[in-house]
Structure 1
Amino acid sequence: MKLADTPVTQHHFSNIPFYLKRDDQLHPQFSGNKARKFMALLENDYCEITTLIGYGSVQANSLYSMAALASLKGWQLEFYVDRIPSWLQQQPNGNYQAALELGAKIIAVADSKLHPSDYINNIRQPNQECLVVPEGGRCGLAEYGVTQLAKEILQWAQPITDKEIVVALPSGTGTTALFLHKTLSKHGIEVVTCACVGGKEYLKAQFEQLGESNHPTILELEDKHHFGKLYQQDYRIWQQLNQEANVEFELLYDPMMWRCLINWYPKNQHKQLIYIHQGGLLGNASMLPRYQRKYGD
Protein backbone atom coordinates (compact mmCIF):
# COMPACT_ATOMS: atom_id res chain seq x y z
CA MET A 1 0.00 0.00 0.00
CA LYS A 2 1.47 3.34 -1.05
CA LEU A 3 0.07 6.46 0.60
CA ALA A 4 1.16 9.70 -1.08
CA ASP A 5 0.21 12.63 -3.31
CA THR A 6 -2.42 14.22 -1.11
CA PRO A 7 -4.22 17.20 -2.66
CA VAL A 8 -3.29 20.84 -2.15
CA THR A 9 -6.21 23.25 -1.76
CA GLN A 10 -6.37 27.05 -1.62
CA HIS A 11 -7.80 29.05 1.30
CA HIS A 12 -7.84 32.36 3.20
CA PHE A 13 -7.73 32.97 6.93
CA SER A 14 -7.43 36.30 8.74
CA ASN A 15 -6.51 37.93 5.42
CA ILE A 16 -3.72 35.39 4.89
CA PRO A 17 -3.91 33.53 1.56
CA PHE A 18 -2.48 30.03 1.91
CA TYR A 19 -2.36 26.62 0.35
CA LEU A 20 -3.14 23.55 2.43
CA LYS A 21 -1.43 20.19 1.98
CA ARG A 22 -4.22 17.80 2.90
CA ASP A 23 -2.31 15.05 4.70
CA ASP A 24 -5.44 14.47 6.73
CA GLN A 25 -6.68 12.68 3.59
CA LEU A 26 -3.86 10.13 3.28
CA HIS A 27 -5.99 7.24 4.55
CA PRO A 28 -9.21 6.98 6.59
CA GLN A 29 -7.26 5.54 9.53
CA PHE A 30 -3.59 6.16 8.77
CA SER A 31 -3.10 9.86 8.05
CA GLY A 32 -1.36 13.07 9.05
CA ASN A 33 2.23 13.55 10.13
CA LYS A 34 2.30 10.26 12.05
CA ALA A 35 1.49 8.37 8.86
CA ARG A 36 4.41 10.10 7.16
CA LYS A 37 6.70 9.28 10.08
CA PHE A 38 5.65 5.62 10.10
CA MET A 39 5.55 5.21 6.29
CA ALA A 40 8.75 3.17 6.25
CA LEU A 41 7.17 0.69 8.66
CA LEU A 42 4.16 0.33 6.40
CA GLU A 43 6.02 -0.09 3.12
CA ASN A 44 8.97 -2.24 4.20
CA ASP A 45 8.96 -5.91 5.13
CA TYR A 46 9.44 -6.82 8.77
CA CYS A 47 8.87 -10.55 8.54
CA GLU A 48 10.08 -11.28 12.08
CA ILE A 49 7.92 -8.60 13.76
CA THR A 50 4.64 -9.57 15.44
CA THR A 51 4.32 -6.79 18.05
CA LEU A 52 4.59 -3.01 17.72
CA ILE A 53 5.38 -1.20 20.97
CA GLY A 54 4.94 2.51 21.68
CA TYR A 55 4.30 4.88 24.55
CA GLY A 56 2.95 8.33 25.27
CA SER A 57 -0.29 10.05 26.21
CA VAL A 58 -3.51 8.08 26.44
CA GLN A 59 -5.02 10.45 23.85
CA ALA A 60 -1.91 10.83 21.68
CA ASN A 61 -2.37 11.02 17.92
CA SER A 62 0.48 8.52 17.69
CA LEU A 63 -1.59 5.96 19.63
CA TYR A 64 -4.27 5.87 16.97
CA SER A 65 -1.79 6.02 14.09
CA MET A 66 0.22 3.13 15.52
CA ALA A 67 -2.97 1.14 16.08
CA ALA A 68 -3.93 1.71 12.45
CA LEU A 69 -0.43 0.75 11.29
CA ALA A 70 -0.48 -2.42 13.37
CA SER A 71 -3.89 -3.31 11.97
CA LEU A 72 -2.69 -2.81 8.39
CA LYS A 73 0.43 -4.92 9.03
CA GLY A 74 -1.27 -7.65 11.05
CA TRP A 75 0.70 -6.80 14.20
CA GLN A 76 -0.37 -6.44 17.82
CA LEU A 77 0.08 -2.96 19.25
CA GLU A 78 1.11 -2.53 22.88
CA PHE A 79 0.98 1.13 23.90
CA TYR A 80 2.22 2.07 27.37
CA VAL A 81 0.85 5.11 29.21
CA ASP A 82 1.33 6.53 32.68
CA ARG A 83 -2.32 6.11 33.63
CA ILE A 84 -5.81 5.75 32.16
CA PRO A 85 -8.43 7.93 33.90
CA SER A 86 -11.34 5.91 35.21
CA TRP A 87 -13.86 8.16 33.44
CA LEU A 88 -12.12 7.46 30.11
CA GLN A 89 -12.21 3.72 30.74
CA GLN A 90 -15.95 3.99 31.41
CA GLN A 91 -16.65 6.33 28.48
CA PRO A 92 -13.91 5.87 25.86
CA ASN A 93 -13.54 8.58 23.21
CA GLY A 94 -11.08 10.11 20.76
CA ASN A 95 -7.81 8.41 19.90
CA TYR A 96 -8.11 6.09 22.91
CA GLN A 97 -11.44 4.68 21.79
CA ALA A 98 -10.40 4.37 18.14
CA ALA A 99 -7.19 2.55 19.07
CA LEU A 100 -9.09 0.09 21.24
CA GLU A 101 -11.47 -0.60 18.36
CA LEU A 102 -8.45 -1.46 16.20
CA GLY A 103 -7.28 -4.02 18.76
CA ALA A 104 -4.61 -2.03 20.59
CA LYS A 105 -3.56 -3.06 24.09
CA ILE A 106 -3.23 0.15 26.12
CA ILE A 107 -1.32 -0.54 29.32
CA ALA A 108 -1.00 1.81 32.32
CA VAL A 109 2.27 1.60 34.26
CA ALA A 110 1.68 4.10 37.11
CA ASP A 111 1.78 1.37 39.77
CA SER A 112 5.34 0.52 38.78
CA LYS A 113 6.43 4.14 39.37
CA LEU A 114 8.44 3.91 36.15
CA HIS A 115 8.22 6.11 33.07
CA PRO A 116 6.58 4.12 30.25
CA SER A 117 9.85 3.99 28.28
CA ASP A 118 11.68 2.62 31.34
CA TYR A 119 8.89 0.12 31.94
CA ILE A 120 9.24 -1.13 28.36
CA ASN A 121 13.01 -1.54 28.68
CA ASN A 122 13.17 -2.94 32.22
CA ILE A 123 9.92 -4.85 32.70
CA ARG A 124 8.48 -5.63 29.27
CA GLN A 125 11.94 -6.33 27.80
CA PRO A 126 11.04 -6.60 24.09
CA ASN A 127 12.50 -9.49 22.10
CA GLN A 128 13.41 -9.80 18.41
CA GLU A 129 9.73 -10.11 17.47
CA CYS A 130 9.00 -6.63 18.86
CA LEU A 131 9.51 -3.26 17.22
CA VAL A 132 9.72 -0.30 19.63
CA VAL A 133 8.97 3.21 18.35
CA PRO A 134 9.97 6.28 20.45
CA GLU A 135 7.26 8.66 21.65
CA GLY A 136 5.74 10.65 18.82
CA GLY A 137 7.80 8.79 16.23
CA ARG A 138 10.92 10.84 17.03
CA CYS A 139 13.55 8.73 15.29
CA GLY A 140 15.56 8.52 12.10
CA LEU A 141 13.05 6.03 10.71
CA ALA A 142 10.69 8.98 10.15
CA GLU A 143 12.96 10.59 7.55
CA TYR A 144 11.82 8.21 4.79
CA GLY A 145 8.16 9.25 4.82
CA VAL A 146 8.81 12.92 5.55
CA THR A 147 11.22 13.08 2.61
CA GLN A 148 8.43 11.74 0.41
CA LEU A 149 6.22 14.58 1.67
CA ALA A 150 8.99 17.08 0.85
CA LYS A 151 9.24 15.71 -2.71
CA GLU A 152 5.49 16.18 -3.16
CA ILE A 153 5.80 19.79 -2.00
CA LEU A 154 8.67 20.37 -4.43
CA GLN A 155 6.62 18.98 -7.29
CA TRP A 156 3.67 21.21 -6.36
CA ALA A 157 5.97 24.25 -6.09
CA GLN A 158 7.56 23.91 -9.55
CA PRO A 159 5.12 26.28 -11.36
CA ILE A 160 5.48 28.97 -8.66
CA THR A 161 8.39 31.16 -9.75
CA ASP A 162 7.30 34.64 -8.66
CA LYS A 163 7.23 34.14 -4.87
CA GLU A 164 9.33 32.63 -2.11
CA ILE A 165 7.62 29.55 -0.74
CA VAL A 166 7.33 28.96 2.98
CA VAL A 167 6.09 25.69 4.50
CA ALA A 168 4.43 25.94 7.93
CA LEU A 169 3.49 23.30 10.48
CA PRO A 170 3.40 23.05 14.30
CA SER A 171 5.86 20.86 16.22
CA GLY A 172 5.64 18.44 19.10
CA THR A 173 8.92 16.56 18.84
CA GLY A 174 9.72 18.56 15.69
CA THR A 175 10.62 15.45 13.69
CA THR A 176 8.46 16.27 10.67
CA ALA A 177 9.57 19.92 10.53
CA LEU A 178 13.23 18.96 10.85
CA PHE A 179 13.26 16.38 8.05
CA LEU A 180 11.16 18.62 5.80
CA HIS A 181 13.71 21.38 6.34
CA LYS A 182 16.57 18.98 5.59
CA THR A 183 15.24 18.40 2.07
CA LEU A 184 13.45 21.68 1.26
CA SER A 185 16.22 24.03 2.40
CA LYS A 186 18.40 22.68 -0.42
CA HIS A 187 15.82 24.10 -2.83
CA GLY A 188 15.46 27.51 -1.18
CA ILE A 189 12.17 26.70 0.58
CA GLU A 190 11.94 27.81 4.21
CA VAL A 191 10.18 25.71 6.85
CA VAL A 192 8.68 27.55 9.82
CA THR A 193 7.31 25.89 12.92
CA CYS A 194 6.51 26.58 16.57
CA ALA A 195 7.31 24.70 19.76
CA CYS A 196 3.98 23.46 21.08
CA VAL A 197 5.65 21.30 23.74
CA GLY A 198 8.37 22.61 26.04
CA GLY A 199 9.40 25.83 24.32
CA LYS A 200 12.03 26.84 21.78
CA GLU A 201 15.09 25.47 23.59
CA TYR A 202 13.38 22.12 24.19
CA LEU A 203 12.56 21.90 20.49
CA LYS A 204 16.15 22.69 19.50
CA ALA A 205 17.31 19.91 21.82
CA GLN A 206 14.93 17.50 20.07
CA PHE A 207 16.40 18.51 16.71
CA GLU A 208 19.93 17.93 17.94
CA GLN A 209 19.08 14.51 19.34
CA LEU A 210 18.10 13.51 15.81
CA GLY A 211 21.63 14.40 14.72
CA GLU A 212 20.83 17.52 12.70
CA SER A 213 22.55 20.86 13.27
CA ASN A 214 20.68 22.81 10.55
CA HIS A 215 17.21 23.59 11.87
CA PRO A 216 13.93 25.07 10.59
CA THR A 217 12.81 28.54 11.69
CA ILE A 218 11.06 28.51 15.07
CA LEU A 219 8.32 31.13 15.58
CA GLU A 220 7.29 32.13 19.10
CA LEU A 221 4.39 33.85 20.84
CA GLU A 222 5.09 36.79 23.12
CA ASP A 223 3.65 34.95 26.14
CA LYS A 224 4.54 31.44 27.31
CA HIS A 225 2.19 28.80 25.96
CA HIS A 226 1.71 25.68 28.10
CA PHE A 227 1.02 22.46 26.23
CA GLY A 228 -2.47 21.08 26.84
CA LYS A 229 -3.67 24.16 28.73
CA LEU A 230 -6.93 25.70 27.53
CA TYR A 231 -6.53 29.19 26.05
CA GLN A 232 -9.59 31.14 24.99
CA GLN A 233 -7.63 32.74 22.14
CA ASP A 234 -6.67 29.29 20.83
CA TYR A 235 -10.32 28.28 20.87
CA ARG A 236 -11.40 31.40 19.00
CA ILE A 237 -8.62 31.00 16.41
CA TRP A 238 -9.64 27.39 15.84
CA GLN A 239 -13.31 28.30 15.40
CA GLN A 240 -12.50 31.13 12.97
CA LEU A 241 -9.99 29.01 11.06
CA ASN A 242 -12.50 26.20 10.56
CA GLN A 243 -15.16 28.65 9.42
CA GLU A 244 -13.06 30.79 7.07
CA ALA A 245 -11.02 27.95 5.54
CA ASN A 246 -14.00 25.55 5.54
CA VAL A 247 -11.72 22.77 6.81
CA GLU A 248 -11.56 21.20 10.27
CA PHE A 249 -8.17 21.62 11.95
CA GLU A 250 -6.66 19.93 14.99
CA LEU A 251 -7.33 21.73 18.27
CA LEU A 252 -4.18 21.06 20.29
CA TYR A 253 -1.37 22.16 17.93
CA ASP A 254 -2.83 24.15 15.04
CA PRO A 255 -4.18 27.17 16.98
CA MET A 256 -0.74 28.05 18.37
CA MET A 257 0.86 27.78 14.94
CA TRP A 258 -1.76 30.04 13.41
CA ARG A 259 -1.37 32.59 16.20
CA CYS A 260 2.33 32.67 15.33
CA LEU A 261 1.57 32.98 11.62
CA ILE A 262 -0.79 35.91 12.18
CA ASN A 263 2.14 37.74 13.80
CA TRP A 264 4.58 36.54 11.13
CA TYR A 265 2.56 37.39 8.02
CA PRO A 266 2.60 41.24 7.99
CA LYS A 267 6.37 41.23 7.34
CA ASN A 268 6.17 38.28 4.93
CA GLN A 269 3.27 39.13 2.64
CA HIS A 270 5.50 38.72 -0.41
CA LYS A 271 5.89 35.00 0.34
CA GLN A 272 3.61 32.11 -0.60
CA LEU A 273 2.52 30.06 2.41
CA ILE A 274 1.69 26.36 2.29
CA TYR A 275 0.43 24.81 5.53
CA ILE A 276 0.74 21.10 6.25
CA HIS A 277 -2.44 19.62 7.69
CA GLN A 278 -1.22 17.30 10.44
CA GLY A 279 -4.35 15.19 10.74
CA GLY A 280 -5.03 14.26 14.36
CA LEU A 281 -8.72 15.18 14.16
CA LEU A 282 -9.80 12.35 16.44
CA GLY A 283 -8.10 14.24 19.27
CA ASN A 284 -10.75 16.95 18.90
CA ALA A 285 -13.28 14.53 20.36
CA SER A 286 -11.60 14.87 23.75
CA MET A 287 -10.30 18.47 23.49
CA LEU A 288 -13.46 20.17 22.23
CA PRO A 289 -15.70 19.17 25.19
CA ARG A 290 -13.06 20.61 27.54
CA TYR A 291 -13.17 23.94 25.73
CA GLN A 292 -16.97 23.91 25.59
CA ARG A 293 -17.24 23.28 29.32
CA LYS A 294 -14.87 26.19 30.06
CA TYR A 295 -15.84 28.74 27.40
CA GLY A 296 -19.15 27.56 25.92
CA ASP A 297 -19.82 27.15 22.21
Structure 2
Amino acid sequence: MRNSPITPFEFRGKFFHIKRDDLLRPFEGNKARKFYYFYKNEFPEIKRVISFGSNQSNAFASLSRLCKIKGWEFIYFTNHIPTYLKQNPEGNYLESLKNDAKIIEINLRGDALREYVLNLKDKNTLIIEEGGRIRESEEGIKILADEINEYVKKNNLRVFLPSGTGTTAYFLAKHLDVEVLTLPCVGDEKYLKKQFCMLGGGKIPTILSPRKKYHFGKLYKNLFEIWNELKNAGIEFDLLYDPIGWESVEYYNLNNILYIHQGGLKGNISMLSRYKRKYKI
Protein backbone atom coordinates (compact mmCIF):
# COMPACT_ATOMS: atom_id res chain seq x y z
CA MET A 1 0.00 0.00 0.00
CA ARG A 2 3.04 2.30 -0.17
CA ASN A 3 6.50 2.79 -1.70
CA SER A 4 5.66 1.93 -5.30
CA PRO A 5 8.72 2.20 -7.58
CA ILE A 6 9.59 5.05 -9.92
CA THR A 7 10.64 3.64 -13.28
CA PRO A 8 12.10 5.14 -16.46
CA PHE A 9 9.89 5.18 -19.55
CA GLU A 10 10.54 6.25 -23.12
CA PHE A 11 7.59 7.29 -25.29
CA ARG A 12 7.78 8.85 -28.75
CA GLY A 13 11.44 9.61 -28.33
CA LYS A 14 11.17 11.33 -24.94
CA PHE A 15 12.18 10.15 -21.48
CA PHE A 16 9.76 10.20 -18.53
CA HIS A 17 9.70 9.19 -14.88
CA ILE A 18 6.68 7.02 -13.94
CA LYS A 19 5.42 6.55 -10.38
CA ARG A 20 4.06 3.01 -10.57
CA ASP A 21 1.10 3.12 -8.20
CA ASP A 22 -0.52 0.52 -10.46
CA LEU A 23 1.75 -2.01 -8.71
CA LEU A 24 0.30 -1.38 -5.23
CA ARG A 25 -1.73 -4.12 -3.52
CA PRO A 26 -4.34 -5.14 -2.34
CA PHE A 27 -5.68 -1.98 -3.97
CA GLU A 28 -3.98 -0.50 -7.01
CA GLY A 29 -3.41 3.03 -8.11
CA ASN A 30 -5.02 6.07 -6.60
CA LYS A 31 -7.64 3.94 -4.83
CA ALA A 32 -4.85 2.46 -2.70
CA ARG A 33 -4.07 6.01 -1.61
CA LYS A 34 -7.66 7.23 -1.30
CA PHE A 35 -8.87 4.29 0.81
CA TYR A 36 -5.71 3.85 2.87
CA TYR A 37 -7.32 5.57 5.86
CA PHE A 38 -10.24 3.16 5.92
CA TYR A 39 -8.07 0.10 5.26
CA LYS A 40 -5.58 0.81 8.06
CA ASN A 41 -7.99 1.96 10.79
CA GLU A 42 -10.77 0.24 12.71
CA PHE A 43 -14.37 1.46 12.68
CA PRO A 44 -16.29 -0.77 15.10
CA GLU A 45 -19.54 1.16 14.67
CA ILE A 46 -19.60 0.85 10.87
CA LYS A 47 -21.73 -1.92 9.38
CA ARG A 48 -22.12 -0.74 5.81
CA VAL A 49 -20.65 1.53 3.16
CA ILE A 50 -22.76 3.37 0.59
CA SER A 51 -21.32 4.98 -2.52
CA PHE A 52 -22.33 5.95 -6.04
CA GLY A 53 -20.95 6.49 -9.52
CA SER A 54 -20.58 4.78 -12.88
CA ASN A 55 -21.16 1.07 -13.41
CA GLN A 56 -17.48 0.46 -14.27
CA SER A 57 -15.85 2.83 -11.79
CA ASN A 58 -12.49 1.75 -10.39
CA ALA A 59 -13.61 3.09 -7.01
CA PHE A 60 -16.66 0.84 -7.24
CA ALA A 61 -14.53 -2.31 -7.44
CA SER A 62 -11.98 -1.13 -4.86
CA LEU A 63 -14.70 -0.27 -2.35
CA SER A 64 -16.30 -3.68 -2.86
CA ARG A 65 -12.93 -5.26 -2.04
CA LEU A 66 -12.46 -3.01 1.01
CA CYS A 67 -15.90 -3.93 2.33
CA LYS A 68 -15.24 -7.62 1.76
CA ILE A 69 -12.01 -7.36 3.79
CA LYS A 70 -13.69 -5.35 6.55
CA GLY A 71 -16.87 -7.44 6.67
CA TRP A 72 -19.08 -4.47 5.78
CA GLU A 73 -22.19 -4.49 3.62
CA PHE A 74 -21.62 -2.52 0.43
CA ILE A 75 -24.42 -0.68 -1.37
CA TYR A 76 -23.70 1.12 -4.62
CA PHE A 77 -26.02 3.39 -6.61
CA THR A 78 -25.59 3.93 -10.33
CA ASN A 79 -27.87 5.62 -12.82
CA HIS A 80 -27.48 3.14 -15.66
CA ILE A 81 -26.46 -0.47 -16.19
CA PRO A 82 -26.50 -1.48 -19.88
CA THR A 83 -28.47 -4.62 -20.72
CA TYR A 84 -25.34 -6.12 -22.28
CA LEU A 85 -23.41 -5.66 -19.04
CA LYS A 86 -26.20 -7.20 -16.97
CA GLN A 87 -26.21 -10.23 -19.23
CA ASN A 88 -22.43 -10.37 -19.61
CA PRO A 89 -20.85 -9.03 -16.39
CA GLU A 90 -17.21 -8.04 -16.80
CA GLY A 91 -14.52 -5.72 -15.47
CA ASN A 92 -15.13 -3.72 -12.30
CA TYR A 93 -18.85 -4.50 -12.41
CA LEU A 94 -18.16 -8.23 -12.30
CA GLU A 95 -15.56 -7.91 -9.56
CA SER A 96 -18.00 -5.93 -7.43
CA LEU A 97 -20.63 -8.61 -7.88
CA LYS A 98 -18.11 -11.23 -6.79
CA ASN A 99 -17.44 -9.16 -3.68
CA ASP A 100 -21.17 -9.23 -2.82
CA ALA A 101 -21.90 -5.60 -3.65
CA LYS A 102 -25.57 -4.66 -3.66
CA ILE A 103 -25.94 -2.65 -6.85
CA ILE A 104 -28.97 -0.40 -7.19
CA GLU A 105 -29.91 1.23 -10.49
CA ILE A 106 -31.54 4.61 -9.83
CA ASN A 107 -32.93 7.29 -12.11
CA LEU A 108 -30.86 10.09 -10.60
CA ARG A 109 -27.56 11.65 -11.64
CA GLY A 110 -25.21 14.46 -10.72
CA ASP A 111 -26.01 16.52 -7.64
CA ALA A 112 -29.45 14.88 -7.27
CA LEU A 113 -27.86 11.44 -6.89
CA ARG A 114 -25.23 12.78 -4.52
CA GLU A 115 -27.82 14.43 -2.25
CA TYR A 116 -29.92 11.27 -2.23
CA VAL A 117 -26.98 9.14 -1.09
CA LEU A 118 -25.75 11.65 1.51
CA ASN A 119 -29.18 11.55 3.14
CA LEU A 120 -28.75 7.81 3.78
CA LYS A 121 -26.02 8.37 6.35
CA ASP A 122 -26.51 7.16 9.92
CA LYS A 123 -24.22 6.14 12.79
CA ASN A 124 -23.61 2.68 11.28
CA THR A 125 -23.22 3.84 7.68
CA LEU A 126 -20.16 5.29 6.01
CA ILE A 127 -20.80 7.38 2.90
CA ILE A 128 -17.91 7.49 0.44
CA GLU A 129 -18.45 9.95 -2.37
CA GLU A 130 -18.02 9.20 -6.04
CA GLY A 131 -14.46 8.32 -6.99
CA GLY A 132 -13.27 8.60 -3.38
CA ARG A 133 -13.77 12.39 -3.29
CA ILE A 134 -13.54 12.64 0.49
CA ARG A 135 -11.24 14.48 2.86
CA GLU A 136 -10.15 11.18 4.45
CA SER A 137 -8.32 10.48 1.18
CA GLU A 138 -5.74 13.05 2.20
CA GLU A 139 -3.91 10.67 4.56
CA GLY A 140 -2.97 8.17 1.85
CA ILE A 141 -2.26 10.81 -0.78
CA LYS A 142 0.03 12.64 1.65
CA ILE A 143 2.01 9.39 1.93
CA LEU A 144 2.32 9.42 -1.87
CA ALA A 145 3.53 13.03 -1.70
CA ASP A 146 6.10 12.10 0.95
CA GLU A 147 7.36 9.25 -1.26
CA ILE A 148 8.06 11.50 -4.24
CA ASN A 149 8.81 14.94 -2.80
CA GLU A 150 12.59 14.62 -2.50
CA TYR A 151 12.83 12.77 -5.82
CA VAL A 152 11.04 15.45 -7.83
CA LYS A 153 12.98 18.26 -6.16
CA LYS A 154 16.31 16.53 -6.71
CA ASN A 155 15.52 15.88 -10.39
CA ASN A 156 13.83 19.26 -10.99
CA LEU A 157 10.55 17.67 -12.03
CA ARG A 158 6.93 18.73 -12.05
CA VAL A 159 4.19 16.19 -11.31
CA PHE A 160 1.52 15.36 -13.88
CA LEU A 161 -1.63 13.24 -13.69
CA PRO A 162 -5.03 13.25 -15.44
CA SER A 163 -8.06 13.76 -13.17
CA GLY A 164 -11.57 12.47 -12.65
CA THR A 165 -12.72 14.04 -9.39
CA GLY A 166 -9.26 15.57 -9.02
CA THR A 167 -8.86 14.29 -5.45
CA THR A 168 -5.36 12.90 -5.91
CA ALA A 169 -4.11 15.97 -7.78
CA TYR A 170 -5.65 18.30 -5.19
CA PHE A 171 -3.98 16.72 -2.16
CA LEU A 172 -0.68 16.27 -4.01
CA ALA A 173 -0.66 20.00 -4.75
CA LYS A 174 -1.28 20.65 -1.06
CA HIS A 175 1.63 18.51 0.13
CA LEU A 176 4.28 18.77 -2.60
CA ASP A 177 6.93 21.46 -2.93
CA VAL A 178 6.77 21.40 -6.76
CA GLU A 179 4.08 22.27 -9.30
CA VAL A 180 1.35 19.71 -9.88
CA LEU A 181 -0.27 19.68 -13.33
CA THR A 182 -3.56 18.00 -14.12
CA LEU A 183 -6.36 18.08 -16.66
CA PRO A 184 -10.06 17.21 -16.47
CA CYS A 185 -11.12 13.95 -18.11
CA VAL A 186 -14.63 14.25 -16.64
CA GLY A 187 -16.32 17.57 -17.30
CA ASP A 188 -14.21 20.69 -17.76
CA GLU A 189 -12.06 23.11 -15.75
CA LYS A 190 -15.16 24.51 -14.03
CA TYR A 191 -16.18 21.01 -12.94
CA LEU A 192 -12.71 20.28 -11.60
CA LYS A 193 -12.57 23.51 -9.62
CA LYS A 194 -15.95 22.62 -8.09
CA GLN A 195 -14.48 19.29 -6.92
CA PHE A 196 -11.52 21.12 -5.37
CA CYS A 197 -13.87 23.44 -3.49
CA MET A 198 -15.73 20.42 -2.11
CA LEU A 199 -12.43 19.09 -0.78
CA GLY A 200 -11.53 22.33 0.96
CA GLY A 201 -10.33 24.86 -1.59
CA GLY A 202 -7.12 26.83 -1.10
CA LYS A 203 -4.05 25.85 -3.12
CA ILE A 204 -5.00 23.87 -6.23
CA PRO A 205 -3.08 22.19 -9.07
CA THR A 206 -2.39 23.88 -12.39
CA ILE A 207 -5.24 22.86 -14.69
CA LEU A 208 -4.55 22.19 -18.37
CA SER A 209 -7.28 21.75 -20.97
CA PRO A 210 -7.32 18.57 -23.09
CA ARG A 211 -6.39 19.00 -26.75
CA LYS A 212 -10.05 18.44 -27.65
CA LYS A 213 -13.31 17.78 -25.85
CA TYR A 214 -13.85 14.11 -25.10
CA HIS A 215 -17.12 12.78 -23.72
CA PHE A 216 -16.28 10.64 -20.69
CA GLY A 217 -16.64 6.94 -21.34
CA LYS A 218 -17.16 7.33 -25.09
CA LEU A 219 -14.89 5.32 -27.37
CA TYR A 220 -12.36 7.17 -29.55
CA LYS A 221 -10.14 5.20 -31.89
CA ASN A 222 -7.28 7.72 -31.61
CA LEU A 223 -7.24 7.25 -27.82
CA PHE A 224 -7.13 3.48 -28.21
CA GLU A 225 -4.19 3.85 -30.57
CA ILE A 226 -2.31 5.99 -28.02
CA TRP A 227 -3.05 3.42 -25.31
CA ASN A 228 -1.82 0.58 -27.53
CA GLU A 229 1.35 2.51 -28.38
CA LEU A 230 2.01 3.09 -24.68
CA LYS A 231 1.53 -0.62 -23.97
CA ASN A 232 3.92 -1.56 -26.77
CA ALA A 233 6.44 0.88 -25.26
CA GLY A 234 6.42 -1.22 -22.08
CA ILE A 235 3.72 -0.06 -19.65
CA GLU A 236 -0.01 -0.73 -19.69
CA PHE A 237 -2.05 2.29 -18.63
CA ASP A 238 -5.73 2.91 -17.97
CA LEU A 239 -7.87 3.24 -21.11
CA LEU A 240 -10.16 6.01 -19.85
CA TYR A 241 -7.89 8.68 -18.44
CA ASP A 242 -4.32 7.98 -19.47
CA PRO A 243 -4.64 8.25 -23.27
CA ILE A 244 -6.03 11.77 -22.78
CA GLY A 245 -3.23 12.43 -20.30
CA TRP A 246 -0.48 11.29 -22.66
CA GLU A 247 -2.01 13.12 -25.61
CA SER A 248 -1.84 16.26 -23.47
CA VAL A 249 1.76 15.56 -22.47
CA GLU A 250 2.66 15.68 -26.15
CA TYR A 251 0.29 18.55 -27.00
CA TYR A 252 1.81 20.80 -24.31
CA ASN A 253 5.31 19.42 -24.93
CA LEU A 254 5.70 18.61 -21.25
CA ASN A 255 9.25 17.70 -20.29
CA ASN A 256 10.84 16.90 -16.94
CA ILE A 257 7.71 15.44 -15.38
CA LEU A 258 6.93 12.63 -13.00
CA TYR A 259 3.80 10.96 -14.38
CA ILE A 260 1.63 9.33 -11.72
CA HIS A 261 0.36 5.96 -12.94
CA GLN A 262 -2.94 5.77 -11.07
CA GLY A 263 -3.84 2.19 -11.95
CA GLY A 264 -7.34 1.35 -13.11
CA LEU A 265 -6.22 -1.61 -15.19
CA LYS A 266 -9.14 -3.84 -14.23
CA GLY A 267 -11.37 -1.30 -15.95
CA ASN A 268 -9.49 -2.04 -19.18
CA ILE A 269 -11.26 -5.40 -19.41
CA SER A 270 -14.64 -3.85 -20.14
CA MET A 271 -13.17 -0.99 -22.19
CA LEU A 272 -11.28 -3.41 -24.45
CA SER A 273 -14.44 -5.45 -24.87
CA ARG A 274 -16.31 -2.34 -25.99
CA TYR A 275 -13.53 -1.29 -28.37
CA LYS A 276 -13.48 -4.75 -29.93
CA ARG A 277 -17.24 -4.71 -30.45
CA LYS A 278 -17.23 -1.21 -31.98
CA TYR A 279 -14.05 -1.16 -34.03
CA LYS A 280 -13.45 -4.92 -34.55
CA ILE A 281 -9.97 -4.44 -33.10
Q: Give the shorter-chain TM-score range.
A: over 0.9
Structure 2 alignment gaps of length 5 or more = none
* 1:51 and 2:39 are equivalent in the alignment: no
Deviation at 1:115, TM superposition (A): 4.4
* Percent of paired sites with the same residue: 44
- 1:276 counterpart residue number: 260
Which secondary structure does the structure 2 equivalent of 1:77 belong to? Answer: strand
CA contact (8 A) 2:90 2:270 kept: yes
- 1:86 counterpart residue number: 83
CA contact (8 A) 2:135 2:199 kept: yes
* 1:154 and 2:149 are equivalent in the alignment: yes
Deviation at 1:155, TM superposition (A): 4.2
- 1:216 counterpart residue number: 205
* Matched letter for residue 13 of structure 1: F
Which secondary structure does the structure 2 equivalent of 1:197 belong to? Answer: coil
**CA deviation map 1:142-193 (0-9, x unaligned):** 11110010001124446x3xx4211111100101001001111xx2x11111
Give the root-mean-square deviation of aligned CA atoms: 1.9
* 1:68 and 2:52 are equivalent in the alignment: no
| 1:108-257 aligned within 5 A | 108-110=105-107, 115-121=112-118, 125-157=120-152, 160=154, 163-184=155-176, 187=177, 189-244=178-233, 246-257=234-245
Q: In the aligned structure 2, how far is the partner of 1:206 from the partner of 1:86?
A: 31
Which secondary structure does the structure 2 equivalent of 1:169 belong to? Answer: strand
**CA deviation map 1:238-263 (0-9, x unaligned):** 1101111x111100000001010002
Which secondary structure does the structure 2 equivalent of 1:80 belong to? Answer: strand
**CA deviation map 1:37-79 (0-9, x unaligned):** 1111111221111111111111111100101111222211111
**CA deviation map 1:68-127 (0-9, x unaligned):** 11122221111111132232122110000011111211111239xx944344345xx332
CA contact (8 A) 1:109 1:119 kept: no
**1:115–1:88 CA distance, 2 compared to 1 (3 A):** farther
**1:155–1:76 CA distance, 2 compared to 1 (3 A):** farther
Q: In the aligned structure 2, how far is the partner of 1:219 from the partner of 1:13?
A: 20
Structure 1 stretches of 4+ moved >6 Å: none
TM-score for both structures, normalised by structure 2: 0.93
Which secondary structure does the structure 2 equivalent of 1:92 belong to? Answer: coil
**CA deviation map 1:206-263 (0-9, x unaligned):** 112222232111122342222112222111111101111x111100000001010002
Q: In the aligned structure 1, how far is the partner of 2:278 from the partner of 2:161?
A: 27
Structure 1 alignment gaps of length 5 or more = none
* 1:262 and 2:238 are equivalent in the alignment: no
CA contact (8 A) 1:64 1:98 kept: yes
* Matched letter for residue 86 of structure 1: T
Which secondary structure does the structure 1 equivalent of 2:165 belong to? Answer: coil
Q: In the aligned structure 1, how far is the partner of 2:220 from the partner of 2:10?
A: 23
CA contact (8 A) 1:82 1:115 kept: no
